[in-house]
Amino acid sequence: MNALLEFLSFSDPNIRYVAFGSVLLTASSAIVGAFTFLNKKSLVGDAIAHAVLPGICLGFIMAGTKNPVALIAGAFITGWISLVLVEFITSKTRIKEDTAIGLILSVFFGIGILMLTVIQKSGNASQSGLDHFLFGKAASLVGSDLITFSIVAVILLVIVFALFKEFSLLAFDKDYARSIGLPVKRIELVLTSLIVLAVVIGIQAVGVVLMAAILITPAAAARFWTDKISVMFLLASLFGAFSGLSGAFISYTAPSMPTGPWIVIVISTLAFISFFFAPNRGIIGRFIRQSRIRKTINDENVLKILYQLGEENRNFFIQRLPDEIIRRRFYDKRALVTILKRLARQGYIERTRNLWGLTEEGKSRAQRVVKIHRLWELYLTTYMHIAPDHVHEDAETIEHLLTPELEERLEQQLGYPKVDPHKSEIPYGNT
Amino acid sequence: MTPALEIHDLTVAFDRKPVLWNIDLMIPEGKLVGIIGPNGAGKSTLIKAMMGILPLSSGYVKIFDKPLDDIRDRISYVPQRESVDWDFPASVLDVVLMGRYSKLGLFKRPRKADRDAALECIKKVGMEGFINRQISQLSGGQQQRTFLARALAQQADMYFMDEPFAGVDAATEKAIVTLLRNMTAQNKTVIVVHHDLQSVSQYFDWVIMLNTRLVAAGPTATTFTSKNLETTYGGKLTLLTDVADLMRRENYPSREENIIQP
């Protein structure tokens, strides 16, 4: 706890560097990555991330030190070459994109590891720490790195901001973008360069291996919470920043820990939470909605049976034993009583000991269901020429689903008919 | 009078396989034009090629007597509804605003005036009740109308529409046709890829009948004949298809490159 407070006070300049740096890296990667996600090119980020490793080694060999500019330049070059190769293979051979990406990714990464090993065996003292690029180490960020990375991050953000509408249009509808004469190829080139840049600075914190997660996961998680692209980008950057900060904290308290895996665990947890708990799109939200629908269907079916029994006796308010309902349509008795109790709670049914009957409200709700059922049967037979003995099943679902507007249109189109195809009377409100 | 659109010897190939052969075509201004033909006849390919979305293997396209790049701001495109992922995080207004991007140019954000123009077009297609609706929550017909509103927002003189009636209910189809009629009345040229042969003579002033090559093009009254229909939809030219397949398999260029002898 003390460590957390100490960390969050940012009193130690080192902590400031590390925290600020990580947040900058992860947030800007998340923003650029959101476009990869919207373009459905998630794997491309992974390919670039792996392909920058030989570039970093190359930069180191050329400069002789861990000069960030040299490393970035090297990484940028090989990252780009990998993309050009993927494109070349996809367009000139019969190999599909996913195979080409897999191929390029492993070849470049293999070469990178090879070079890294050679450098480590070379005895150059300044090479120590180069292996941090594999899994990332936020704690190794120092002041001078921070300046370089801040500049790159600012460039990224400015370009994304300036070309936001073009990038979104390209992700949504590329043909249309071409038709209005946007320089599609050049804009794509800019976006790809941004991805390469984001990867190049992001790997400092996360490492080559897990970089793709930091590009894609924040956007994937953010998508669950919103349908607005601006909000999605804001959330993605917040998720990214939060995971970056947590990674920096862990890197600070447990220096032997690699940062990358921790950042990925944090962001993945956020993604899982979104996946399950986001309203509307989340799994639990969906589950709740489905079970609510199931309840509605059960409730309305029971009301409907009471109504139909009432039709036979010409009295809708007779109270009956549950067995009478079961004789009409099979229910597990206990389940049926649960439904009846729920309907009684909602005021649609009245109960006298073991006898249950419709209330006025229950009757009108049941009547609406019956009406829609019979109207729909009639609609299917008149307009779609389906045989009368085939229409019941269809109407069973429609009766619970139809909105009042559609109900009205149905009534009007059929001209308020009196009876359905089976000669049952169609009941309208209050008549 | 110069035609609104002129195509000369247009050939388009995918993966070296020609899908459109040597099309020559002229369309006069202010007409509602239908492109018809069986599946795989190259209808969508033709309008994409007309707008320069696809590279041409040969030939040229002139619109209002100018090359494409000079009159981009006067043409507008409604892609096939299925060509985009409607789960994209955008609202109806967001999509229609895209129609203003060509006027805005790079880097600039939509201005208030662009919003007004977009809202106006949304109203024209009867979508004013759905301005902020997420686009995946729309019915097929509503999505189609959103695309139409986006094209209208461009305020162009020539419109290319790829199956604007696909997945649309009868009432919407009627509304769209009325809208297109109003546009041609204002001397705009509207070119529509169309599937339903029943409505061709009722909707279109001009037809282009296509089956990997041009069968016929001209005023509907004289062109949309049973003889032309038979050629368009009747026997496939199997020899033509086989030759095209061969070109793809053997990696032949669809046009010989100019080889300069030393």
Statement to judge: residues A183 and A237 lie in one domain? yes
Residues A308 and A207 in one domain: no
Examine the predicted complex and report whether its ipTM is higher than 0.85: yes
CB contact under 8 A, A228 and B52: no
Return all residues near A15 (Cβ < 8 A) that are at least 6 apart.
Answer: A6, A7, A248, A252
Average per-residue pLDDT for chain B: 88
Q: Given a cut of 80, is residue B61 above it in pLDDT?
A: yes
Same domain for A305 and A377: yes
Residues A312 and A200 reside in one and the same domain: no
The answer to whether the CB of A414 falls within 8 A of the CB of A379 is yes
- Look at residue B254 in the predicted model and tell me its pLDDT: 64
Residue of A nearest to B55 (CA): A178
Query: Do A332 and A185 have their domain in common?
Result: no
d(C-alpha A412, C-alpha A406), whole Å = 10
Q: Are residues A99 and A237 in the same domain?
A: yes
**Bridge partners of B160?**
B77, B191
- Let me know whether A129 and A41 are in one domain: yes
For residue B256, tell me if it sits in a domain.
no
Note whether residue A6 is domain-resident. no
Query: Which amino acid is residue B66, in one-letter code?
Result: K
Between chains, do A180 and B69 touch, taking CB under 8 Å as contact?
A: no
Per-residue pLDDT 10s for chain A (431 aa) are 677 777 777 777 777 878 888 888 889 999 999 999 999 888 888 888 899 999 989 998 888 887 878 888 898 899 989 988 998 998 888 888 889 999 999 999 999 999 988 888 887 777 777 777 887 777 777 777 778 888 888 899 999 999 999 999 999 999 999 999 899 999 998 998 898 888 888 887 788 888 888 899 999 999 999 999 999 999 999 999 999 888 888 877 887 777 788 888 999 999 999 999 888 788 888 888 888 888 888 888 889 888 988 888 888 888 888 888 888 888 888 888 899 899 989 989 888 888 888 888 888 888 888 888 888 888 888 888 888 888 888 888 888 888 887 888 888 888 888 888 777 888 886 54
d(CA B153, CA B202): 27
Domain of B219, CATH number, reads 3.40.50.300
Contacts of A168 in chain B (CB under 8 A): 90
Tell me how long chain B is. Answer: 262
- CATH number for the domain spanning A21: value is 1.10.3470.10
pLDDT at position A158 is 93
Q: CA-CA distance, A429 to A427, in Å (whole number)? A: 7
Q: Which of B26, B148, B19, B15 is nearest to B79 (CA)?
A: B148
Distance CA B91, CA A52 (A): 38
| CA gap B173, B168 in Å, rounded | 6
Q: Are residues A45 and A76 in the same domain?
A: yes
Is A34 in contact with A222 (CB distance < 8 Å)? Answer: yes
Residue B137 contacts residue B51 (beta carbons within 8 Å): no
- The number of domains in chain B is 1
Location of structure tokens 């605003």: B97
Query: Best interface-test mutation with A: which of B53, B54, B73, B91 has the largest number of A CBs within 10 A?
Result: B53
pLDDT at A431: 42
Task: Classify residue B238: in a domain, yes or no.
Answer: yes
DSSP code, position A419:
B
Tell me how many degrees the CA angle B130-B134-B140 measures, rounded to the nearest 5: 75
Q: Of A243, A278, A313, which marks where a domain is finished?
A: A278
Tell me the β-bridge partners of B26. Answer: B6
Residues from chain A contacting residue B49 (CB–CB below 8 Å) = none
> End of a domain among A214, A247, A278?
A278
Task: Output the domain CATH number for residue A320.
Answer: 1.10.10.10
**Domains held by chain A: number:** 2
pLDDT at B262 over 50: no
Residues from chain A that touch B85, judged by Cβ atoms under 8 A, are: 40, 172
Q: How confident is the model at residue B132 (pLDDT cuts 50, 70, 90)?
A: very high
How long is chain A?
A: 431
Q: Is A2 within the bounds of a domain? A: no
What pLDDT shows up at residue B33?
Answer: 95
Residue B213 lies in a domain: yes
> Which two three-digit tokens encode residue A241?
């920043």
Q: If contacts are CB pairs under 8 Å, which of residues 15-44 in chain B contact chain A?
A: none
**Is residue B78 domain-resident?**
yes
- Least CA distance to A220: which residue of chain B? B89
Q: pLDDT-based confidence at B40, cuts 50/70/90?
A: confident
Residue A4 inside a domain? The answer is no
Question: Does residue A61 belong to any structural domain of this protein?
Answer: yes
Query: Is A1 among the domain residues?
Result: no
Q: What angle do CA A212, A216, A221 make, to 5 degrees?
A: 140
Distances B230 to A379, B20, B152, B224, B226 between C-alpha atoms, Å: 37, 19, 35, 10, 6
Which of B83, B101, B154 is closest, CB to CB, to A169? B101
Domain membership flag for residue B39? yes
Q: Give the Cα separation of A171 and A85 in Å (integer).
A: 22
CA–CA dist A49, A197 (Å, integer): 10
Question: Could you tell me which residues of chain A have a Cβ less than 8 Å from any Cβ in chain B?
Answer: 38, 40, 162-163, 165-166, 168-169, 171-173, 175-176, 178-182, 223, 226-229, 232
Return the axis-axis angle of helices B140-152 and B170-185, rounded to nearest 10°: 10
Q: What is the distance between the alpha carbons of residues A122 and A133, in angstroms, rounded to a whole number? A: 18
Smallest Cβ distance to A178: which of B53, B91, B160? B53
| CA distances to A24, A156, A396, B74 from A184, in Å | 29, 19, 51, 19
What is the model's pLDDT at position B261? 47
Cα A344 from Cα A362, distance rounded (Å): 9
| Token pair belonging to A419 | 């009876």
* A3 belongs to a structural domain: no
Check whether residue A398 and residue A272 sit in a common domain.
no
| One domain, residues A111 and A162 | yes
Q: Which domain holds residue B174?
A: 5-249
Is B149 contained in some domain?
yes
Are A181 and B102 a contacting pair at CB < 8 A? yes
Boundaries of domain holding A53: 12-278
Shared domain check, A208 and A256: yes
Does residue B137 belong to any structural domain of this protein?
Answer: yes
Domain boundary pick from A278, A305, A334? A278
Q: Compute the nearest-CA separation of A324 from chain B (Å).
A: 42
Q: Do A297 and A274 belong together in one domain?
A: no
From the list B225, B151, B176, B181, the residue with the least C-alpha distance to B33 is: B181
Token pair of A47 as six digits: 């390919």
A229 and B72 within 8 Å at the Cβ level: the answer is no
